[in-house]
Amino acid sequence: MPDDVRLILNRTSEPPRVLHREDCPTIQHQVRGDVREERPRGGFAILESYEDGLSLIGPVEGVDRSYYTASYVTIEQLASVGRYRRCKTCAPDAPDGPPPLQVHRKKAENLEASDIGRVSVDGAIERIEHSSEGTTVTLNGGVVLTLGAGDTVSFPKKPQSA
Ligand SMILES: [Zn+2]
Summarize pLDDT for 89-99 with one digit per residue, the tens.
999 999 888 77
The strand ranges marked E within 11-143 are 17-21, 35-49, 55-67, 72-73, 84-86, 103-107, 119-120, 123-131, 134-139
CA of 87 to the centre of ligand 1 (A): 4
Could you tell me the distance, in angstroms and rounded to a whole number, from the CA of residue 147 to the centre of ligand 1?
Answer: 29
Of 125, 129, 121, 127, residue with least CA distance to 98: 121
CA 145 to centroid of ligand 1, rounded, Å: 29
DSSP string, 116-142: TT-EETTEEEEEEEEETTEEEEEETTS
Tens-place pLDDT, residues 88-129: 999 999 988 877 678 889 999 999 999 999 999 889 999 999
